[in-house]
């Protein structure tokens, strides 16, 4: 089956620090890979995605590269801001016909302090 292992939090960083949130997955075939963000009191928002090997997804200064050889999709940001404080979810979506069914990681809570 499909599963995802995400770095456990909470993670607390000072503003402008470098961020890495690890994510590895197991899936049949070559899934599309997503990072979602959930700000306090809100629903999920798509942060970035990559649909094939070596693709790099990027948005709002965040990046993640689809690494087929290590089945990983680590999230990085060079300089975090207080407004980045949120919970981040890694989610692979296995390929195949029909609707996409995401498998979510447990989420990593990030707190950025001034």
- Report the interface residues with other proteins, using CB under 8 A: 32, 34, 36, 42-46, 49, 51, 89, 99-102, 104-107, 109
DSSP state letters, the chain: --EEEE--S-EEEETT--EEE-EEEE-SS--EEEEEEE-TTS-EEEEEEE-STT-EEEETTEEEE-BTTTTB--EEESS--GGG-EEEEEEEE--SSS---------EEEEEE-
Rounded to a whole number of angstroms, the minimum distance from the CB of residue 106 to other proteins is 5
Q: In terms of CB distance, is 60 or 106 closer to other proteins? A: 106
In whole angstroms, the minimum distance from the beta carbon of 66 to other proteins comes to 14
Name the minimum Å distance from CB 79 to other proteins: 26
């Amino acid at each position: 089956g499909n599963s995802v292992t995400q770095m456990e939090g909470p993670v607390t960083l000072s503003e402008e620090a470098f961020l890495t949130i690890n994510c590895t997955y197991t899936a049949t075939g070559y899934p599309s890979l997503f990072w979602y963000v959930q700000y306090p009191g809100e629903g999920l928002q798509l942060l970035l995605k990559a649909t094939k090997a070596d693709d790099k997804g990027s948005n709002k200064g965040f990046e993640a590269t689809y690494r087929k050889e290590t089945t990983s999709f680590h999230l990085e940001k060079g300089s975090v801001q207080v407004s980045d404080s949120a919970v981040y979810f890694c989610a692979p979506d296995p390929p195949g016909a029909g609707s996409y069914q995401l498998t979510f990681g447990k989420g990593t809570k990030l707190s950025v302090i001034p």
